[in-house]
């Protein structure tokens, strides 16, 4: 028993002059409108990309300074697996007995892959919620530069807490696009 | 789970982008269009494969993508509306030698494209020799010559 149901769901074949064709001008017009709307969305997306919404740009580049003089520059937005740099400058006051003890929250280190730390720490300690790096600073004449190269393994919000022991803390978020 | 999710997401996004770009964008008209498609292939591959070079990952991705294709083809068979939105419909661009200018403009096809196809497919010389020229869902142009 051949069912006719299947046939009625297929596109109706129209006849235009001598041509049998499945043309649907009403639909076609909507499709063209949809195309044009889509172009606007695409243009906005590209513009946002250039401006840095997805990393690397004015919207994304951020700097913070703590009251005690800790400066950090970082990217607010980044893309998954793309390397990103956290650049810190610790004030000379942060140095105690020729050493700088700076720390970062464990949650952040858990969620990213650390590609490199400059300078190489003398010592690394882990506590319940922090990773503490110790750097030798024999002559604390100016701000001490610390660079952290990381890449995020998963998308989402990354909370960052960074500072020096018994000193200032900077707290901010990074958002990682998938 | 990730390869499957990424494959599905990319399939949907690519389909959306190419539907927005229009029928002609897939027709591979110039050498540059061909190059562009290659580059798009490379960009997509990076996101899908990443650092995972296992055979399992590749097979999983391919099966997922082909699976979506098959699944959609079944849905298209059942629901005419879905077929229209996914595949688009043909549009008549030339009717008995007359260019339908409004449609040509919207479809971003010009007379030289049509004449070129007329020469290629039917060996026709002039517009008046064309009975119908149709822009197919694939982006190609088909020509029906006037009967002698």
Inspect the interface and report whether the beta carbons of A22 and B95 lie closer than 8 Å. no
Stated pTM of the model: 0.82
Inspect the interface and report whether the beta carbons of B92 and A23 lie closer than 8 Å. yes
Looking at this predicted complex, what is its ipTM? 0.86
Question: Tokens standing for B111?
Answer: 């007379």
Residue-by-residue DSSP string for chain B: -HHHHHHHHHHHHHHHHHHHH-GGGGS--SHHHHHHHHHHHHHHHHHHHTT---HHHHHHHHHHHHHHHHHHHHHHHH-HHHHHHHH---EEEEETTEE-HHHHHHHT--HHHHHHHHHHHH---SGGGEEEEEE-TTS-EEEEEPP-
Closest CB to B134: pick one of A18, A21, A35: A21
Euclidean distance between CA atoms B72 and A131, whole angstroms:
50
Euclidean distance between CA atoms A28 and A177, whole angstroms:
35
- Residue B3: per-residue pLDDT: 86
Inspect the interface and report whether the beta carbons of B89 and A17 lie closer than 8 Å. no
Torsion region of B27: left, alpha or beta (phi above 0 gives left; psi -120 to 50 gives alpha): alpha
Closest CB to A23: pick one of B16, B90, B106: B90
Contact at 8 Å (CB) between B119 and B127? no
Per-residue pLDDT of chain B (148 residues; tens, 9 = 90+): 888 999 999 999 999 999 999 988 877 678 888 898 899 999 998 888 888 899 999 999 999 999 999 999 999 999 988 999 999 999 999 999 999 999 999 999 999 999 999 999 999 999 999 999 999 998 999 999 998 7
Inspect the interface and report whether the beta carbons of A22 and B131 lie closer than 8 Å. no
Please list every residue in chain B whose beta carbon sits closer than 8 Å to the beta carbon of residue A156. Answer: none
């Amino acid at each position: 028993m051949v069912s006719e149901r299947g046939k009625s769901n297929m596109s109706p074949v129209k006849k235009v002059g001598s041509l049998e064709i499945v043309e649907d001008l009403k639909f076609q017009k909507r499709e063209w409108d949809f195309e044009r709307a889509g172009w606007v969305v695409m243009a906005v997306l590209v513009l946002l990309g250039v401006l840095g919404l997805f990393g690397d740009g004015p919207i994304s580049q951020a700097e913070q300074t703590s009251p005690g003089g800790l400066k950090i520059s970082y990217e607010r937005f980044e893309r998954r697996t793309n390397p990103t740099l956290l650049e810190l400058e610790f004030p000379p006051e942060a140095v105690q007995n020729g050493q700088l003890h700076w720390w970062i929250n464990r949650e952040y280190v858990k969620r990213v892959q650390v590609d490199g730390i400059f300078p190489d720490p003398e010592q690394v300690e882990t506590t319940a919620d922090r990773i503490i790096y110790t750097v030798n600073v024999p002559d604390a004449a100016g701000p001490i530069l610390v660079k952290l190269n990381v890449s995020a393994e998963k998308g989402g919000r990354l909370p960052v807490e960074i500072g020096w022991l018994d000193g200032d803390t900077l707290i901010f978020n990074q958002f990682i696009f998938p | 789970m990730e390869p499957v999710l990424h494959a599905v997401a990319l399939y949907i996004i690519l389909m959306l982008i190419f539907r927005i770009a229009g029928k002609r964008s897939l027709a591979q008209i110039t050498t540059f269009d061909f190059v562009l498609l290659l580059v798009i292939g490379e960009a997509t591959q990076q996101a899908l494969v990443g650092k995972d070079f296992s055979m399992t990952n590749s097979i999983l991705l391919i099966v997922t993508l082909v699976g979506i294709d098959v699944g959609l083809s079944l849905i298209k068979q059942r629901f005419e509306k879905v077929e229209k939105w996914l595949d688009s419909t043909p549009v008549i661009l030339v009717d008995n030698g007359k260019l339908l200018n409004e449609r040509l403009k919207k479809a971003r096809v010009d007379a030289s494209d049509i004449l070129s196809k007329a020469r290629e497919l039917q060996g026709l010389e002039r517009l008046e020799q064309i009975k119908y020229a149709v822009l197919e869902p694939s982006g190609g142009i088909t020509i029906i010559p006037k009967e002698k």
